[in-house]
Structure 1
Amino acid sequence: MPDYAALLDAVRGIRWPARSAVRGGIPGAHTSRMRGTSAEFTEYRPYRQGDDLGRIDWKLFARSDRAYIRLSNDRAILPTMIVLDASASMAFPIDTKGKWNLAAELTVGLAAVARSSADPVGLVIAHRDGQVVLPPRTRQGVIHEIIESISNVEPAGSEPIAPSVTAGMRMGGRIVVISDFLGDAPEMLANAARAVVGAREMHAIHIVAAEELDPPTETVLVADPEESDVRRPLAAEARAEYITAFGTWREALSHDWSDAGVAYSMVIAGSETGDHAIRRITAPRGVAVSA
């Protein structure tokens, strides 16, 4: 089980700014599309009848003999929904469950970072036994509720993830999909593209195990975690073909999601800590995160 206490301590102080201005509503930490008169000054506009006289810049009025209102970008909240893939392939490698543990860390850590900006956070877990849904909330115990929900789930089955993405879209302005994308990735991408068109912020976090990138060199019998009766030998020649095919698939996946306007990130279980990945995922565009 991940050390959530250490993780939450490591991500304290991280901020997750919206990738673009969000639709106005409840005041929060993100720049809103609405224009208002908050303390963060942006520009002036001429006074119009009915404006609050207290918003007039009287010093500018004294210099120009014209009345202007100080404008600013209002701030808004960004409800964040995290969609977590709990299919059987996420339990790989079987001995460590590295992909699942990393996915759990990212879910909890990103939820905590979003909540630190007063954003409501929620969770949808796509699982064989049905969706586990926590609507977005800001209350004190929401992170504990997310941890408890994840702890009660074991990756199993081959449940489609796309319906859970749709469920997240109904409740969030920012949707984060955490998956290995070995299932219904095309359907997930189609839903994500619709979310982007609907002015939602989409993130795709691709969980990959180090063992998937560099499988054993000796001949092994590989079992499909979602279809246990499917087994294939992985010899030296097949290993080389697999590495090439897996690399080509990952590259295409990255391009497809990025071209749809989704923020795509690949995180390797066993090679990157959860808190470092969270810093990289939440960093503003164009900002590099040191190792």
Structure 2
Amino acid sequence: MSLRNLSLAAKTTIDGFMTGANKSAIKGTGMEFSQYRSYMPGDDLRWMDWKLYARSDRYYIRESESETNISIRLLVDASASMDHRDGDHTKMEYARYLAACLAWLANMQGDAVGLYMLREDGIFSLAARQGFQHLNRLFYQLEQAGPKGHFTQPIYYKDIYAGGQSRELLVFITDMYQQQDELYKLLDLLGALRHEIIVLHLMGRNELELDYTGYTTLEDLETGATIPINAGELKEAYSQRLAQYLDDTRKALLGRNVWYRLMITDEPVDQALRDFLQARVRS
């Protein structure tokens, strides 16, 4: 998808059902006036300065030093395992779309949103801010994302300390593929910084059901290693081991006070978001 299409897809998905769902939208006082800026489509009309409009016949928005109650940062796994394909799209494509929708929703509700792209060669960081220009920068970075190589090595996690000291709500979109607990090490660091963390675990339906009809080998997308398979003979044992893996993953994350949800990549993103947000409200 192009940047324009990603933006449009996110807007179309979110506009249909989530207006007003996020209770963090700012109301009332408690913010200090900073400056005016020209009105942009989608801006909250509550911050329109109608007196200035009456004098100038132009629309201006009052910006404040503190624009939001919540600072949200999206973490996107850009390793090669995210190139796993199920049907018409890869996990990476699903992750881009999901992250774009969450960013659009956060921006629509007045929340600042930022980004960590977790790449083999380090961590790209985009500070959390509000506004459509910033949102377009975030979409651009999503479009540039991998997937390639291994997951970010722990040596690069130090870059997270440079991201500021304020607490954030972190939404980590990943397939949870790891070789030496590197994802758990990252989550331990983020937890030590007192961030609230959500993990959205992406899996393909073909992974869950071992549906690889016609294939005789499987390849590890990060290491290149291959193994022969006979899906019919392996299915029962595979199902048992997969169930154990998912249960262990869920317990490991809950033990770290991380909110966890499994998302299947053949689910429409709007339905997956609705289920995710409803579950958050109930928890």
- TM-score greater than 0.5 by the shorter chain: yes
Deviation at residue 232 of structure 1 after TM alignment: 0.5
**8 Å Cα contact 2:77/2:173 also seen in 1:** yes
Matching residue of 1:277: 272
Q: Is 1:216 matched up with 2:222?
A: no
> Secondary structure of the residue that 2:73 maps to in structure 1?
strand
Deviation at residue 247 of structure 1 after TM alignment: 2.2
Check 1:99–1:126 CA distance in 2 against 1; reply closer, same or farther (3 A cut). Answer: same
Deviation at residue 191 of structure 1 after TM alignment: 4.0
> Secondary structure of the residue that 2:260 maps to in structure 1?
strand
Matching residue of 2:123: 131
Check 1:117–1:94 CA distance in 2 against 1; reply closer, same or farther (3 A cut). Answer: closer
Matching residue of 2:149: 157
Matching residue of 1:183: 178
Matching residue of 1:16: 22
Aligned pair count? 236
> Secondary structure of the residue that 1:150 maps to in structure 2?
helix
CA distance in 1, matches of 2:78, 2:187: 19
- Structure 2 matches for 1:1-291, cutoff 5 A? 1=1, 3-4=5-6, 5-12=8-15, 13=19, 15-17=21-23, 29=26, 77-93=69-85, 96-160=88-152, 163=156, 167=160, 170-171=163-164, 173-183=168-178, 186-193=181-188, 195-196=190-191, 198-214=193-209, 215-218=211-214, 220-228=216-224, 230-235=225-230, 236-270=232-266, 272-283=267-278, 285=280, 287=282
> Secondary structure of the residue that 1:207 maps to in structure 2?
strand
CA distance in 1, matches of 2:21, 2:228: 46
**8 Å Cα contact 2:13/2:270 also seen in 1:** yes
Q: Which has the higher helix share?
A: 2
CA distance in 1, matches of 2:200, 2:73: 13
CA distance in 2, matches of 1:153, 1:182: 17
CA distance in 1, matches of 2:140, 2:96: 11
Letter in 2 for 1:140: F
Deviation at residue 231 of structure 1 after TM alignment: 0.8
Greater mean alpha carbon deviation, residues 148-157 or residues 177-186? 177-186
What is the RMSD of the two structures over their aligned residues, measured on CA atoms?
Answer: 3.2
**8 Å Cα contact 1:7/1:109 also seen in 2:** yes
Point out where structure 2 has 5 or more consecutive residues left out of the alignment. 31-66
Deviation at residue 110 of structure 1 after TM alignment: 0.9
**8 Å Cα contact 2:75/2:171 also seen in 1:** yes
CA distance in 1, matches of 2:110, 2:206: 38
CA distance in 1, matches of 2:157, 2:134: 20
Q: Which has the higher strand share?
A: 1
Deviation at residue 178 of structure 1 after TM alignment: 0.6
Look at both structures and tell me which one has the larger radius of gyration over its CA atoms: 1
**8 Å Cα contact 2:113/2:128 also seen in 1:** yes
- Report the TM-score, using the length of structure 2 for normalisation: 0.71
- Report the TM-score, using the length of structure 1 for normalisation: 0.70
**8 Å Cα contact 2:79/2:147 also seen in 1:** yes
Greater mean alpha carbon deviation, residues 260-269 or residues 126-135? 126-135
CA distance in 1, matches of 2:74, 2:180: 16
CA distance in 2, matches of 1:280, 1:95: 22
Point out where structure 1 has 5 or more consecutive residues left out of the alignment. 19-27, 31-35, 39-74
